[in-house]
């Protein structure tokens, strides 16, 4: 890039940095003897802005004209079924994890969290990755699932296995409810409305105190039992506890491992369901609709039904995950369902490569584990997280796994 152009771009970047840095870094609320006072740190701002200017200038001079940053890496050519192999290895690892030396309480709890996000990612992948409908309010369905499990279990004492399908159905109904008004919207407009919908659900939960407990949330949500055998050291008379059933020592880890396998199974269910759907006409219609709506209609595909089904099914899995979340935590409040959650789930789908099932797993592991591993750097955690995201987007702008698997091959039974 010629010097004047690089200089201009660097000045622009420095200007943006300045505008952001003055309010964010320049002022600081300090606790002085006379009470609160505003301190200024314009030297910091100057350093930051200079760094942006120099960095951008160097980058601009190094970079070819009009070419994207030369960082993008090509994946080495992998054997055709490498991703299947990798997925299999991951699956087996996940299956045995609790019984390996790694499987202590902390790790298994963390793995449960990762799996919840994998499941949410797979659910949202139906809507965003396959059907191409940008949904920024997915967390609403997670909330619907969580609250419906919590309310049915607390008020009617219904078991997890009864509440799970109810949570799924209710979430799916909310999916359709959201789907109807947004059928005609696309792109940015769709994103805004879904974002509003997500917030709406949260605000309702926050304010409808008699129903949802408001900001205090719902407590003492029944914990799951092993098909009727509870995980307690001292079961009530007449009940058999899980450890008695199998003649084991009681250990709090047993319930955690059970939860782990529960979410593992739910996530796998989501995955197999999606893989199956991709081979059915309706699943292929999701993908086709993302590419060209007019062409779809010319082929006899009714976009209304197809979009609604994507919203409903994606929401259903969000609802399942929500029910699991509620029973795992034993406590839920609107706090857990704010926009950041939707953003993280969406980031998982986008980072994973929009539509790639394996990509979702890798991205979920990454997005959940990185902040966890960075715990020691607590102050800089979010900065490093953001930095990592930027790097990934530079390296793999298509997402981690950008390759799209064809849904059929002739010869092989589709």
Partner 1 sequence: MTALLSIERVKARYGPVEALRGVSLTVDEGEIVALIGANGAGKSTLLMTICGAPKAAEGRIVYAGQDITGTDLHDMVKLGIAQSPEGRRIFPRMTVLENLQMGAYLGDERNLSGDLERMFALFPRLAERKYQRAGTMSGGEQQMLAIGRALMSRPRLLLLDEPSLGLAPLLVAQIFATIREINRAQGVTVLLVEQNAYHALRLANRGYVLVNGEIRMSGTGQSLLDDPDIRKAYLAGGHG
Contact residues: partner 1, CB under 8 A: 281, 284-285, 287-288, 291-292, 294-303, 404, 406-410
Residue placing its CB nearer to partner 1 in the complex, 8 or 404 = 404
Task: Compute the distance between CA of residue 146 and CA of residue 239 in angstroms, rounded to an integer.
Answer: 27
Residue placing its CB nearer to partner 1 in the complex, 262 or 301 = 301
- Cα end-to-end span (Å), the chain: 51
189: helix, strand or coil: helix
Give the shortest CB-296-to-partner 1 separation in angstroms: 8
Residue 213 is encoded by which pair of tokens? 């407990």
Residue placing its CB nearer to partner 1 in the complex, 109 or 287 = 287
Give the shortest CB-290-to-partner 1 separation in angstroms: 8
38: helix, strand or coil: strand
Residue 26: C-alpha distances to residues 37, 47, 101, 380, 386 (Å) = 14, 11, 49, 18, 21
Give the shortest CB-194-to-partner 1 separation in angstroms: 23
Residue 55 is encoded by which pair of tokens? 């960095």
Residue placing its CB nearer to partner 1 in the complex, 191 or 296 = 296
41 HSE (CA, 13 A, CB side): 15
Residue 327 is encoded by which pair of tokens? 């029973």
**Tokens 């799996």 belong to residue:** 115
Residue placing its CB nearer to partner 1 in the complex, 153 or 306 = 306
Residue placing its CB nearer to partner 1 in the complex, 286 or 366 = 286
* 102 CB-near residues (< 8 Å, 6+ apart): none
Give the shortest CB-294-to-partner 1 separation in angstroms: 6
Task: Compute the distance between CA of residue 284 and CA of residue 103 in angstroms, rounded to an integer.
Answer: 39
**Tokens 């450890």 belong to residue:** 243
Residue placing its CB nearer to partner 1 in the complex, 232 or 398 = 398
Give the shortest CB-287-to-partner 1 separation in angstroms: 7
26 HSE (CA, 13 A, CB side): 11
The strand pair at 35-40 and 27-32 is best described as antiparallel
Residue placing its CB nearer to partner 1 in the complex, 288 or 346 = 288
Calculate the CA dihedral of residues 311, 314, 315, 321 and round it to 10 degrees. -170
Give the shortest CB-279-to-partner 1 separation in angstroms: 10
DSSP conformational letter for 155? H
What are 226's strand-pairing partners? Answer: 229
Residue placing its CB nearer to partner 1 in the complex, 65 or 409 = 409
**Helix or strand holding residue 179 (H, E):** helix 160-182
Give the shortest CB-414-to-partner 1 separation in angstroms: 8
Give the shortest CB-16-to-partner 1 separation in angstroms: 34
Question: Which phi-psi region, left, alpha or beta, contains residue 75 (left: φ > 0; alpha: ψ -120 to 50)?
Answer: beta
Residue placing its CB nearer to partner 1 in the complex, 113 or 407 = 407
Residue 17 is encoded by which pair of tokens? 């940095």
Give the shortest CB-125-to-partner 1 separation in angstroms: 15
Task: Compute the distance between CA of residue 228 and CA of residue 16 in angstroms, rounded to an integer.
Answer: 60
Give the shortest CB-68-to-partner 1 separation in angstroms: 20
């Amino acid at each position: 890039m010629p010097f004047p152009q690089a200089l201009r771009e660097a000045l622009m970047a420095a200007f943006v940095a300045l505008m952001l840095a003055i309010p964010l870094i320049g002022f600081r609320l300090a606790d002085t003897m006379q009470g609160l006072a505003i301190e200024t740190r314009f030297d910091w701002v100057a350093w930051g802005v200079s760094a942006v200017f120099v960095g951008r200038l160097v980058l601009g001079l190094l970079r070819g004209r009009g070419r994207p940053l030369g960082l993008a890496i090509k994946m080495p050519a992998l054997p055709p079924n490498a991703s299947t192999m990798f997925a299999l290895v991951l699956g087996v690892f996940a299956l045995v994890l609790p019984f390996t030396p790694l499987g202590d309480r902390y790790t298994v709890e963390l793995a449960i969290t990762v799996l919840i996000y994998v499941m949410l990612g797979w659910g949202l992948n139906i809507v965003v990755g396959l059907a191409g409908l940008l949904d920024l309010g997915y967390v609403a369905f997670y909330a619907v699932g969580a609250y419906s499990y919590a309310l049915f279990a607390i008020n009617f004492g219904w078991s997890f296995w009864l509440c799970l399908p109810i949570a799924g159905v209710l979430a799916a109904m909310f999916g359709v409810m959201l789907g109807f008004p947004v059928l005609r919207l696309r792109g940015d407009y769709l994103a805004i409305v879904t974002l509003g919908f997500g917030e709406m659900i949260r605000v309702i939960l926050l304010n409808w105190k008699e129903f949802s407990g408001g900001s205090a949330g719902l407590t003492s949500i029944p914990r799951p039992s092993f098909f009727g055998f509870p995980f307690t050291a001292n079961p009530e008379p007449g009940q058999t506890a899980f450890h008695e059933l199998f003649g084991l020592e009681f250990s709090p880890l047993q319930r955690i491992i059970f939860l782990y396998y529960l979410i593992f199974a739910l996530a796998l269910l989501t995955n197999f369901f999606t893989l199956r759907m991709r081979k059915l006409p309706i699943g292929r219609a999701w993908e086709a609709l993302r590419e060209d709506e007019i062409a779809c209609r010319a082929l006899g595909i009714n976009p209304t039904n197809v979009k609604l089904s994507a919203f409903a099914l994606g929401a259903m899995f969000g609802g399942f995950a929500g029910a699991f979340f509620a029973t795992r935590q034993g406590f839920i409040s609107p706090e857990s369902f704010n926009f950041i959650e939707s953003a993280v789930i969406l980031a998982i789908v986008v980072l994973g490569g929009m539509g790639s099932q394996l990509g979702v797993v890798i991205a979920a592991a990454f997005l959940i584990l990185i902040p966890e591993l960075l715990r020691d750097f607590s102050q800089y955690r979010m900065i490093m997280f953001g930095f990592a995201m930027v790097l990934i987007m530079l390296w793999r702008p298509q997402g981690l796994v950008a390759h799209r698997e064809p849904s059929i091959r002739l010869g092989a039974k589709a």
